[in-house]
Structures are given as C-alpha cells and as structure tokens.
Amino acid sequence: MEAEVDKLELMFQKADSDLDYIQYRLEYEIKTNHPDSAGEKNPVTLLKELSAIKSRYQTLQARFKPVAVEQKKTKSRICATFNKTMT
C-alpha cells in the first residue's frame, strides 16, 4: 500500500513538472512565432488557465498528503497488531 501511495505522489510531481514545461514551451512559442497575434485568443489568458490547472493539481496533492500519512500510520498499527498476535 505504501508503494502505491509513493507512486501516486510521484505521478502528481510528474504532472506538476509537465505543466511547468508546457507553460515554458507555450511562452517560448508565442514569443518566437506570434509576436503580434491580433484578433486571436489572448495567449496570456491561455497561460493563466494553465496556471489555474497547475494550482488545482497542487491542491489535490496537498489534500492527498494527510491521506498518505494516515495510511502509513494504519499500516504500522496493523503490522504491530499482527506481530503481537503472532507472538
């Protein structure tokens, strides 16, 4: 169970890193290829939306941490009870 928790946490970290990279690439592409894009959707708005998505991922990760801590505590209690029962 602990390995699954660690795996899920790594997935959140990878998603966060991927979003940072996407934001960087978008900013770069907009600056180099479309310096004066009139009449199109504002690229800054798109980047803000991306930042909002990143913020949601960070919120999810923050909510997940207490669950992971409780799972570790529960696992420890179960192992302790099991060891006590075995002896």
Q: What is the mean pLDDT of residues 22-35?
A: 78
Mean pLDDT of the chain: 81
Decide: pTM greater than 0.75: no
Contact predicate 2/33, CB 8 Å: no
Chain position carrying tokens 């009449």: 39
| Geometric angle at alpha carbon 75, from 66 and 78, rounded to 5° | 140
Residue ranges per structural domain of the chain = 2-86
Quickly state the pLDDT bin for 29 (edges 50, 70, 90).
confident
Contact predicate 29/47, CB 8 Å: no
pLDDT of residue 33 exceeding 80: no
Quickly state the pLDDT bin for 37 (edges 50, 70, 90).
low
Q: What is the mean pLDDT of residues 25-41?
A: 70
- The residue type found at 79 is C
Chain position carrying tokens 């966060």: 16
Query: Could you give the residue ranges of the DSSP H alpha helices within the chain?
Result: 2-33, 43-86
Q: Which of 17, 9, 29, 19 is nearest to 51 (CA)?
A: 19
